Amino acid sequence: MPSYTYDKKRYITGIILPNVVLMGCLAVFALYDNIVIYKGFDLLSLVLVVAVYTLFNTLVALAYPQKIIDTGSAWEFHAFGRRHSYPKGELTGFHIRDLANSRIYLRVNGAKLFQGRYWIKLKMYSDGEALYQAFHDIEREMHPEDLKFNRRSSHTQTMG
């Protein structure tokens, strides 16, 4: 049962502090500005919307998992004492968007508002390369028709 864990110290400094503490403080400040000193929709109103969205993604949608476990029968994403579980037999969608700096954006089963959207910084996880390869294999198996898997074969077909 492979388990991939985000480095604890870096999870606190890279996920919890910026997302929860700073966004929480900004939300309180912006809320105070909008309720006590209401001047209409201004820059702090926009800050409030961004802060609430960021807190929602971090705490409710678990968009930044601390631990990812392959149980053999399911993939589990853990953070803040909660988990999202996806039985392998019930996977309907699995899409990876590769980003800079060994990061990926993973969408699972249609990526709903409360789950299925994950930002994963591979180099921060124990054995991040194996995690990426496991995700890549699932995506290739589920979506062999995707252009990123057919580039080479379509190129050789036009050349031949």
Per-residue pLDDT tens over the stretch 21-80? 877 787 777 777 767 766 666 777 777 788 888 888 888 899 999 999 999 999 999 999
Count of structural domains within the chain? 1
Q: Which pLDDT belongs to residue 146?
A: 77
Q: For residues 154 and 94, which has the higher predicted lDDT (pLDDT)? A: 94
Q: Which pLDDT belongs to residue 159?
A: 40
Q: Rounded to an integer, what distance in angstroms lies between the CA atom of residue 145 and that of residue 140?
A: 8
Over 70: is that where the pLDDT of 118 sits?
Answer: yes
111 is a domain residue:
yes
Over 80: is that where the pLDDT of 109 sits?
Answer: yes
Highest mean pLDDT among 11-25, 30-44, 117-131: 117-131
Find the domain containing 61 and state its range: 3-150
* Three-state DSSP class for residue 11: helix
Lowest mean pLDDT of 19-28, 32-41, 86-95, 126-135, name the range.
32-41
Lowest mean pLDDT of 4-8, 21-25, 55-59, 103-107, name the range.
21-25
124 is a domain residue:
yes
141 is a domain residue:
yes
159 is a domain residue:
no
Taking the alpha carbons at both ends of the chain, their separation in whole angstroms is 44
CB atoms within 10 A of CB 45: 16
Q: For residues 136 and 55, which has the higher predicted lDDT (pLDDT)? A: 136
